[in-house]
Chain A
Amino acid sequence: MRITVGKGSCGIAAGAAEIFNILKDAGVPAVVTGCIGMCYLEPIVNVDDRTFVRVTPDAAREILKFIRGEENGAEQYAIPQEDLDNLSVQHRIALANCGIIDPENIAEYIAREGYAAAKKCIAAMSPEDVIAEMKASGLGGRGGAGFSTGLKWSFARAEKGDKKYLICNADEGDPGAFMDRAVIEGDPHNLIEGMIIGAYAIGSDEVPIAMEGIVYVRAEYPLAIIRLEQALGQARERGMLGKNIFGSDFSFDIRIKAGAGAFVCGEETALIASLEGERGMPRLKPPFPAQKGYWKKPSNINNVETYANVPWILRNGGAAFAAMGTENSKGTKVFALTGKVAKGGLAEVPMGKTLRDVIYGVGGGIKNGREFKAVQMGGPSGGCIPAELIDTQIDYRTLAATGAIMGSGGMVVMDETTCMVDMARFFLDFTCKESCGKCIHCRIGNRRMLEILERICAGDGREGDIELLSDLAEQIKAGSLCQLGMTAPNPVLTTLRYFRNEYEDHIHNKKCTAHQCKPLLTYAIDPEKCTGCTLCARKCPGKAIAGEVKKVHVIDMDKCTKCGKCSEVCRFGAVVVD
């Protein structure tokens, strides 16, 4: 009998550690797995082919009885069929093992063809063959830009030198995205194997080149760092890392560098500066990292998910990968579905599916039966795609045509209670805080845009603000050195493009229809519904509510500070917010 408990960060936050301990303490040989991607059902326990979800300590005790073949009440925690169906839209390559195998046990990875691809490459393929296979796969970098991985490797290979670096970008800075975390926590060996293959393709030569691998992981992912460290140790023990890998004359090892919290360090030249112990400031390219990277040596940088696709491609052939997807985007892509979506989690789907397939097919639509309004893709560099474009096909070009981008895979779903002006303000606030400060347009221009948006959200929007925003956006795009500054205006531009009416409402009518911008709201008490319970009056910090017991209460808007307390506490829905 195989019993597993999903213990990714998300599972643990939902209480999986406690469940795991209940099973362990009862003598059940439960195995740890990573995140299967159905975060909304966490904690999840599998007993052979049965899946139990939202497992509470009580549920765990029923599952224990089930395991022991006793009479039990575990059935009520069994996964509903419709949730199982969500998996059928998916096609898992990067996530193939996540939530299935024990990430802390290399034997389980090996049992699922693990390290077979690396072994094959080193034993039977030339580096040129490997690169040709990668080119044939059409795999584009999953860090956001989608640049051909095979081509990138060929550049790093072409550079001469006695030392080269292979770097993995696990900075995952887009707030609202967690694909890379899931891969590292759930299947670290897949990443390691991908990196070994990359290192071999770039650095194996007749005159040996010293190859070193570095994974730059963001500091907020402590569990990922622990699991990866463990996995590296196990791979070393088995001769898959270190000197003379698989008994060949190729040597390669990997170390981890924990980031220190800076979004801009996801940009490759900033990442390199950070690795060198400096402030993470981007620099002009060329020279590209492939020419002059870490310590000025040829360096190849790829994203976690990019590497995680590599072993599959080498096992199944580039053509099999290229058979999935569209003309310009091959293979699959992992998305992190969050926000107002009913079933938040991870989804890996073939390119060419539509946003609807992901948001409704996997995500189950919108929470609480509300209306879908927009989805933000590409984080602070991306844009909001409105409801009317939900049938947009997922590929690099089609998404770019909407004004958003594929990005690294964050999909933050928004409903009618999300204010799009506030979202634009939110993203600019983020980019302003994260700007490294090198370029004037990024450092000051974005701040000016933010100030305008803050003004609009505070009810002080003016005639001409929209034009001013558009004008600044164009200048910032033109005048910034790196993509952080260049793309910072995108959330503003896309919301202006699709939700201009909301800007106009804010500016001209001083109204926020989504009821998010507090200064624009008014509070009133509906005399029909008010029972005179006095609760709101007692809670109001501004003493703005007058009334006696069992009599209708009234708000004095002159005193009201618009804190929202009254509408929160009223149990009779009598406070009308507009």
Chain B
Amino acid sequence: MTCNCAENKSWKFSDPEIDIALLEPTLEKYGDVAGSLITVLQKAQELYGYLPVDLQAYIACRLGVKPAKVMGVVTFYTQFRTKPVGKNLILLCQGTACHVNGSSGIEQAIREFLGTEEGEITADGLFTYNNVACLGCCSLSPVMMIGDKTYGNLTKDKAVKILKEIAAEG
């Protein structure tokens, strides 16, 4: 495939925060390895927090696949996001054990506290919450994860208190 996206310096991303040079080592490493699209996307999301359409198109070009294929994969897996998230991403478990132990009430409390719906960023840019389907800590249900920290045995008050503490830290 003839492609000059790497050389094409005029390739502009709508999000000025995206420094594509950071992805270069990954693209170098996996560019020719069949079946590595998901791995590259995971790395890109780790770097930039989300996968906007123009970034998807760039990755498609570099890997020599159609942009539609990249979008197909991005939209298939729940891990991938096409919108940016707040500084703290809250993963709220809605798995069976957590559901039985009242996770929908926790969601209500979080939603009221943040004033946002799932996937949105709060006005102060601090939080986004996403529902997920089991964090593997079911014995401590209901559970949520923020960054790499897991919080178990949640109550509505406890969940809100944790968010307040994080918000206070900024």
Other-chain residue from A10, A14, A174, A278 in contact with B73 (beta carbon distance below 8 A): A278
Contact pick for B38, options A260, A412, A426, CB 8 Å: A260
Cα–Cα distance between A346 and B97 once the two chains are bound (Å)? 14
Closest 7 CB pairs of A and B: A175-B95, A39-B139, A344-B139, A176-B96, A175-B134, A260-B77, A338-B97
Interface 0/1 of B69-107, CB less than 8 Å to A: 000110011111000000000010111111111000000
* In contact, B138 and A340 (Cβ under 8 angstroms): no
Rounded to whole Å, the gap between the CB of A521 and the closest CB of chain B is 14
Contact B136–A181 (Cβ < 8 Å) = yes
Task: Let me know if B138 and A9 touch, CB within 8 A.
Answer: no
A14 to B97, CA, bound (A): 17
Residue of chain B at shortest CB distance from A343: B139
Do residues A177 and B138 form an inter-chain contact, with CB atoms below 8 A?
yes
When distances are taken between beta carbons in the complex, the residues of chain A under 8 Å from B78 are 260-262
15 contacting pairs across A/B (C-beta < 8 A): A9-B137, A10-B152, A13-B137, A13-B143, A39-B140, A42-B140, A175-B98, A176-B96, A176-B138, A181-B136, A275-B35, A338-B96, A338-B141, A376-B96, A410-B138
B150 contacts partner chain A, Cβ-Cβ < 8 Å: yes
Query: Is there contact, CB below 8 Å, between B140 and A14?
Result: yes
* Cβ–Cβ contact B138 & A430, under 8 A: no
Could you say which residues of chain B place their CB within 8 Å of the CB of A77? none
Size of B's binding interface in residues, CB under 8 A:
40
Binds B, one of A120-128, A147-155, A218-226, A465-473: A218-226
B37 A10 Cβ-Cβ under 8 A = no
Give the interface size bracket for A toward B. Answer: 35 or more
Inside 8 A of A12's CB, which chain B residues have their CB? 150
Q: Which A residues are CB-close (under 8 A) to B135? A: 9, 220
One digit per residue, 1 when the CB lies within 8 angstroms of any chain B CB and 0 when it does not, for chain A 248-281 equals: 0000000001111111000000000011111110
Known: A262-B76, A277-B73, A339-B100. A220 touches B139 (CB 8 A): no
Which residues on A sit within 8 Å (CB–CB) of B26?
Answer: none
Indicate whether B132 reaches chain A with its CB closer than 8 angstroms.
Answer: yes
B5 at the interface (CB under 8 A from A): no
> Do the beta carbons of B136 and A220 come within 8 Å of each other?
yes
Q: A90 an interface residue at 8 Å Cβ cutoff?
A: no
Q: How far is the CB of B126 from chain A (nearest CB, A)?
A: 22
Is A279 a contact of B72 with CB atoms below 8 Å? yes
A8-B73 Cα distance, complex, nearest whole Å? 32
Interfacial residues of chain A within 132-183, with CB under 8 A of chain B in the complex: 172-178, 181
In the complex, which residues of chain A have a beta carbon less than 8 angstroms from the beta carbon of B73?
277-279
A410 neighbours in B (Cβ, 8 Å)? 96, 138
- CB 8 Å contact bits of A206-234 with B (1 = contact, 0 = none): 00000000000001111000000000000
Option from B38, B80, B139 in Cβ contact (under 8 Å) with A337: B139
- Kindly identify, within residues 491 to 533 of chain A, every residue whose CB is under 8 Å from any CB belonging to chain B: none
Q: Are A172 and B152 neighbours in the complex by a CB distance under 8 Å?
A: no
With the chains together, A337 CA to B97 CA distance in Å?
Answer: 9
**What's the minimum C-beta distance from A355 to chain B, rounded to whole angstroms?**
17
For B39, what are the chain A residues with a Cβ–Cβ distance below 8 Å? 257, 277
Interface flags for A287-302 (1: CB within 8 Å of B; 0: not) read 0000000010000000
A257 neighbours in B (Cβ, 8 Å):
39
Chain B min CB distance to A325 (Å): 25
**Contact among A40, A174, A340, A418 for B139, CB-based, below 8 A:** A40
A176 with B72: CB separation less than 8 A: no
From A9, A10, A340, give the contact of B100 (CB < 8 A).
A340
Q: How far is the CB of A55 from chain B (nearest CB, A)?
A: 15
Q: Flag if B36 contacts A220 (CB, 8 Å).
A: no
- Is there a chain A Cβ closer than 8 Å to B148's Cβ? yes
Residues of A within 8 A of B137 (CB): 9-10, 13, 39, 178
A379 within 8 A of B: yes
Q: Are B76 and A412 in contact (CB under 8 A)?
A: no
